[in-house]
Amino acid sequence: ALMIEARSISYAYKETVALRDVSFGLPKGETLAVVGPSGCGKTTLLSLIAGLMPSTAGQLRVDGAPVQPRRPGTALILQDYGLLPWKTVRENVALGLRIRGMKPDAADQALREVGIADLAGRWPHQLSGGQKQRVAIARSLALGPDLLLMDEPFSALDALTREEMQDLLLSIWRRHRTSLVLVTHSITEAVYLGQQIMVLSPRPGQVVGLFRNPTVGD
């Protein structure tokens, strides 16, 4: 079964064509890395999958249904973390649970999973970049998503922290088998994390190739 099925989707911002004729299928539980230079349409593709805006052409299905805004199982993780500065780490992670009327207990479990249970009482400004990214991942994990969308999640981090976070993401994926779409400009990252690798060209937002990468697996 496919988590994402894209058939000839295109997107244009007024005159700017950002994506042209993109097709792919992401089987449930698998990972896709979308790689390409700045301006090739990576963020646009992720926004379409997240249902933030409708594609201007083509069909996009998520878990068998036409993509819709605020699908409960979809989690979007952005580069800038989006933590609320006036809430502690634990409260940042628990907030999504509270909004959905769920018990906040899953927050501590999620913080343990990303290895920062000991930082639950801190404020966001007391965290390093890598720690903030861990909080952002925990916040999504706590809700039990079946589709994780990540937009350049590690590019603001130093090289060592980035490698740590890539390993963390891989171990989380191995444990949960959450379908994952990771957008990156790093071919190294794409090869490390993507079972499929889609290469996009900025002229304009066209697929150069869609490759199977057998080196990411069990």
Q: Contact residues for ligand ADP (CB under 6 A)?
A: 13, 16, 18, 36, 38-44, 125-131, 158, 161
Which residue has its beta carbon closest to ligand ADP? 128
Please report, as a single letter, which amino acid is at residue 148.
Answer: L
Please report, as a single letter, which amino acid is at residue 38.
Answer: S
At closest approach, how far in Å is the CB of 99 from ligand ADP? Answer: 27
- Closer residue to ligand ADP (CB): 127 or 193: 127
At closest approach, how far in Å is the CB of 30 from ligand ADP? Answer: 22
Q: Locate 129 and state its tokens.
A: 């970049």
**Rounded to an integer, what distance in angstroms lies between the CA atom of residue 127 and that of residue 116?**
10
- What is the full DSSP assignment across 158-215? -HHHHHHHHHHHHHHHHHH--EEEEEES-HHHHHHH-SEEEEEETTTTEEEEEEE-TT
**Rounded to an integer, what distance in angstroms lies between the CA atom of residue 91 and that of residue 216?**
34
At closest approach, how far in Å is the CB of 14 from ligand ADP? Answer: 7
- Closer residue to ligand ADP (CB): 161 or 213: 161
At closest approach, how far in Å is the CB of 159 from ligand ADP? Answer: 11
- Closer residue to ligand ADP (CB): 18 or 150: 18
At closest approach, how far in Å is the CB of 187 from ligand ADP? Answer: 14
- Closer residue to ligand ADP (CB): 21 or 158: 158
What CA dihedral angle connects 140, 49, 190 and 39, to 10 degrees?
-120
- Closer residue to ligand ADP (CB): 158 or 167: 158
